[in-house]
Chain A
Amino acid sequence: MGKLTLEDLRRMRGEKQKAIDMRDSSNKDVQVIVGMGTCGIAAGAKDTFTALVDSINEKGLTNVLIRQTGCMGLCHSEPTVEVVVPGIPAVIYGHVDVATAKEIVEKHVVGHELIEGKLLDRPSIDIIKNG
């Protein structure tokens, strides 16, 4: 992409906002978001990330978008993974090791079932006032 003009930037913001609102850029309606700050990585988020990717490829799921993000603030429960599936409220899992990552794909993404014991509360967006 070349250099932006003011109009380009405004148009781009509009488009991206729409894409994020619709949550289905390129037909991916499920989002799995891994907290990949230093705290997350130190707690094993890279293994978690790999396990999620492998598990999704294994199952041949094409509608799942795996994203990374920074620290969600829940350092006591890293690695943290947020899962957004249509029809289910977005939830955050804590202490997600490789086994739990597989479980998330099998049970939550495919089976639409929440996973015992690893569920945490959502710290942002709907709970915390945003500036």
Chain B
Amino acid sequence: MAFESYVLVCGGTACCSGGADNIVEAFASELAAAGLKDKVQVVKTGCLGFCEQGPIVKILPQGTFYVQVKAEDVKEIVAEHLVKGRVVQRLCYDPEQAKKLVAEANIPFYQKQYRIVLRNCGVIDPEKIDDYIARDGYKAIEKVLFEMTPEQVVDEILKSGLRGRGGAGFPTGMKWKFAMMQPKGQKYMVCNADEGDPGAYMDRSTLEGDPHSILEAMIIAGYAIGASKGFIYIRAEYPLAIRRLEVAIEQATELGLLGKDILGSGFDFEIELRFGAGAFVCGEETALLQSIEGNRGMPKPRPPFPAVKGLWGRPTVINNVETLANIPVIINKGADWFNKIGTATTKGTKVFALTGKVNNSGLIEVPMGTTLREIIFDVGGGIRGGHQFKAAQTGGPSGGIIPPQFLDTPIDYESLAKIGSIMGSGGLIVMDETDCVVDIAKFYLDFTVDESCGKCAPCRIGGRKLLNYLNKITDGRGTEDDIVQMQNISDAMCKASLCGLGQTASNPVKSTLRYFMDEYMEHIRDKKCRSGKCSKLISYTIDPAKCKGCTACARKCPAGAISGAVKTPHVIDQSKCIKCGACEATCKFGAISHG
């Protein structure tokens, strides 16, 4: 026996505090009274993600979405909706348009996402080529190989306005055009899957969820520029993505979608995997090519650009995973479909790996021009644990830190650059008031200092100097002159570094100096860290009025810094204290505090 309808009651934290449990009970008793107990099942669900309108009740199979439901409303829902099949208009989202807005698909919240790159992720079995083919897979190569000239393919991509998703946003069609225009001969198509930003995993998920889309895109690119050989440069830390790519390449080769004379078109293309050892600099295109050639991964000055002189001196196009995932869709649906999505300068969508202090961390794809507020508060479900939004970090170690006043900036390459950050590859880390911006800047500098290849002085020495200043400030030894020095070094690194790594490494410092100068000053002048993250700037003290002399803290202290006789107030020896916070956590009387 199957149920006819299902009532889903959101059981997320917010909805529960709004009385979700009472609603469940009310449904149970009302359904029993209406004799529908065996026909309708009531289920409490995980967070439906629309907390501001909670408690939420959703009725399946119709998908009717009721918001701000109270236990008193349940009787009406049962009598009207479940018995008579009539939607209770007044409880639908946006009562003015209630007639149209009955299904959740019509609620703006759910419309924020738009999946082009992730179209197959979470839908198909990535290890089955049949699944991909059924969802219009390898349809774009039919069109490209049999109906289009390479020039037409390049024109289509140019017209689509697609820009590189690896970070810099260079028009993909231009890159292809440069390589296409080079004299015939050996050319190469390279996919950059060396995703290295902390907190970013868009490319990995795309490769794991839909590897064939990348292979198809590389075939198209190879045809357009006249390359018969492709490389996917992927880091060895992505074993699952590697395995799925291997399976995909094997399947495609077996079916003749890779190899000689693809589908009888006369076009040959093969793809080889090359594994990176996880050096961040190898995501930079010239360093990546060095690494494929078997050399130490170090960037080269440009020009010559890889499209002219790349792998083994031959014309080479390097595209990022996410860029490539867009290609088959653009070919299938046309450039004019694609260039209507997004903003004036930036077309299409962007995948973000949404992490940090946000309720719904996850992988999302939104049209360009979506605001940070929509991403963090609508799609991401707001800040975890009721904390305050402090800043968002985009673009990883090369990006900047964006303060709350820019939450409503529509995101594209230009707007992010204007506010001192970059699009980057799509890591989006959300921070709340318990994060210290100086500490965050230090974290990123620490990363880039580690990852700098050391070839050019501005990056090698400048990065180290910046890190030293940041350490000084978080240790409480900073001076105001340090700020001036940091600004000078940042500017010099931007102008004089050889590659993108050095040119952007100071962005976290520059953006925090620009928007959070008051916090730097607090660290320097007042020797205080308001978030309590900079441990050297906090001190633990025992309030003698509250201390009962129970000795619990003294026994817990790993440094032996707390002394005092039983039943008399204890004291902390600041010179011995290692600021671990164990005493504060142990004290049952709230006598220990830090500041």
Contacts and interface: CB of A to CB of B under 8 A. Distances in A.
Interface string B230-242: 0000000010110
Contacts of A91: 60
B110 A114 contact: no
A13 B139 CA distance: 9
Contact of A112 (B1, B45, B110, B127): B1
Contact of A128 (B113, B137, B329): B113
Given A4-B255, A124-B123, A129-B114, A73 B6 contact: no
Contacts of A116: 43-44
A87 B2 contact: yes
A38 B204 CA distance: 8
Interface in A105-131: 112-121, 123-131
A113 B552 CA distance: 51
B130 A119 contact: no
Given A37-B240, A116-B44, A117-B44, A89 B122 contact: no
Interface in B136-150: 136-139, 142, 146
Interface string A1-34: 1111110011011001101100000000000000
Interface in B343-397: 349, 359-365
A117 B105 contact: no
10 contacts: A20-B131, A71-B205, A72-B122, A73-B365, A74-B362, A88-B6, A112-B2, A113-B3, A115-B43, A119-B44
Contact of B263 (A4, A16, A74, A126): A4
A19 B134 contact: yes
Contacts of A95: 46
Contacts of A67: 125
Nearest to B206: A70
Interface size class of A (residues with CB under 8 A): 35 or more
Nearest to A71: B205
A94 interface: yes
B121 interface: yes
A50 interface: no
A4 B259 CA distance: 12
Interface residues of B, number: 73
Contact of B61 (A20, A89, A123): A89
Contacts of A35: 122
Nearest to A20: B134
Nearest to B105: A127
Given A12-B133, A123-B113, 8 more contacts: A35-B122, A71-B208, A94-B46, A112-B3, A119-B43, A123-B122, A131-B117, A131-B329
A77 interface: yes
Interface of B: 1-3, 6, 8, 11, 41, 43-49, 60-61, 63, 104-105, 110-111, 113-127, 130-131, 133-134, 136-139, 142, 146, 201, 204-205, 208-210, 238, 240-241, 254-257, 259, 263-265, 329, 333, 349, 359-365
A88 to B, nearest CB: 7
Interface string A21-64: 00000000000000101110100000000000000000000000
A118 B48 CA distance: 11
Contacts of A10: 142
A115 B42 CA distance: 9
Contacts of B240: 37-38, 41
Contact of A1 (B47, B137, B254): B254
Contacts of A89: 6, 60-61, 63
B37 to A, nearest CB: 13
A69 B114 contact: no
B46 A71 contact: no
Nearest to B130: A16
Highest count of chain B CB atoms <10 Å: which of A1, A35, A76, A113: A76
Given A9-B138, A112-B3, A127-B105, A70 B45 contact: no
A13 to B, nearest CB: 5
B361 A75 contact: yes
* The 5 residue pairs across chains A and B that have the minimum distance between CB atoms: A70-B209, A3-B256, A131-B116, A72-B122, A16-B134
B11 A117 contact: yes
A63 B77 CA distance: 35
Nearest to A113: B41
A3 B255 contact: yes
B263 A71 contact: no
A71 B104 contact: no
A126 B124 contact: no
A37 B263 contact: no
B46 A117 contact: yes
Contacts of A129: 111, 113-115
Given A4-B257, A9-B133, A68-B125, A88 B2 contact: yes
Contacts of A128: 110, 113-115
Contacts of A77: 46
Highest count of chain B CB atoms <10 Å: which of A71, A116, A128, A130: A71
Contacts of B139: 13
A131 B257 CA distance: 23
Nearest to A128: B113
A76 B118 CA distance: 17
Contact of B49 (A6, A118, A121): A121
Contacts of B3: 88, 112-113
Given A6-B263, A9-B133, A89-B60, A121 B48 contact: yes
B272 to A, nearest CB: 20
A126 B134 CA distance: 18
A119 B259 CA distance: 45
A73 B104 contact: no
Nearest to A112: B2
A2 B208 CA distance: 26
A17 B134 contact: yes
Contact of A76 (B48, B142, B209, B361): B361
A58 to B, nearest CB: 22
Given A17-B134, A68-B127, A89-B63, A130 B119 contact: yes
Contacts of B61: 88-89
Nearest to A91: B60
B354 to A, nearest CB: 9
A63 B18 CA distance: 41
